[in-house]
Amino acid sequence: MTEDIFEKEKIKLTPETGFDLVGLDYFADSENQLYLVEHFEMYQDALNAKKERKNQDEYFILYKDAGGKFFCR
């Protein structure tokens, strides 16, 4: 997956408010490898859900800060 496509997917899945837990599907086509797992209102809830996953490296928390800047953790 190229970095440009990956970044576009992350931005597309980033919610306007709250926090989205997003997974990475290595077997999907190159433009649809990210998928929404669950939306959370609080960061700590999203982080706890990520920690419960077997392969934590295959999950991201996507959100925007108060200034609208995109973040991925």
* Distance, CA of 43 to CA of 49 (rounded, Å): 10
With b for 16 or more beta-carbon neighbours within 10 A and e for fewer, the 24-54 pattern comes to beeeeeeeebbeebeebeeeeebeebbeeee
Against a cut of 0.75, is the pTM above it?
yes
State the residue range of the domain holding 8: 3-72
Instruction: Specify the number of domains making up the chain.
Output: 1
Confidence at residue 1, expressed as pLDDT on a 0 to 100 scale: 46
Residue pLDDT, tens place only, 53-65: 999 989 999 999 8
Share of the chain above pLDDT 70, in %: 93
Across the chain, which distance is largest between two alpha carbons, in Å? 35
